[in-house]
Amino acid sequence: MNSMDLVTLFVIGVTSLVSFKAFNDRYFFDRFKFNIAGIERGEQWRFFTSGVLHADLQHLFFNMFTLFFFADEVIGSFNSVKFLIIYLASMLGGSFLSYIINRNNYAYSAVGASGAVSGIIYSAILLDPSMRIYFGIPGWIFGIGYMIYSIIGMQRKADNIGHDAHIGGAITGYLITLLYDYNIILDRPFVVGAMLLPIIAVIILIKMNKV
């Protein structure tokens, strides 16, 4: 087993252990979930701790399975440390965008590694736009579609999915990846520009108070 496998399994293992603890301990779950009222009380740790909690086993499995699928591309292109930085920064980025959008709703709560995983997805796609996702879809098309789906979901608020965290995480993963390897902009300008468009759309919608 190489270091790439180990760092991915470490993240999956820690997240799974903490999530299983929360499944059986409601006080623990409520203490560490993302919650606007709690953050306003000064409990800033919720920006991070919510990313290792999940609502149920299905939620946990989907996020960790997706992470496992994309993680090796990021670790192989960079290294384990940079992977962890992108993962944790995307977790924070997802929580931060959720806070900005929902800061006036003190009842708003959320859990899940979706923001962190979204950052890894966007990073992996930038590093290898031709990678094939579900049903042979090119990675960069999947990335754009994923963002458009999240933007629509964020506007409609018709389900219990934290679409704003997905978007915040994806934006963070996108930016940090380009900071680590700015040659991507020169080598793949079309893909970088295409994946930037939904990010610009999110910024415009926030400025217009449409989300």
Classify burial at 181, counting beta carbons within 10 Å of its beta carbon; exposed 0-12, middle 13-18, buried 19 or more: middle
End-to-end CA distance of the chain: 44
Catalytic residue among 19, 114, 118, 123: 114
Instruction: Tell which residue, 180, 162, 163, has the closest CA to residue 124.
Output: 180
Catalytic residue among 19, 90, 109, 166: 166
Determine contact, residues 116/166, Cβ cutoff 8 Å.
no
Determine contact, residues 101/34, Cβ cutoff 8 Å.
no
Instruction: Tell which residue, 178, 171, 179, 137, has the closest CA to residue 154.
Output: 171
- Respond yes or no: is residue 16 known to be catalytic: no
- Respond yes or no: is residue 166 known to be catalytic: yes
Catalytic annotation, residues: 114, 166
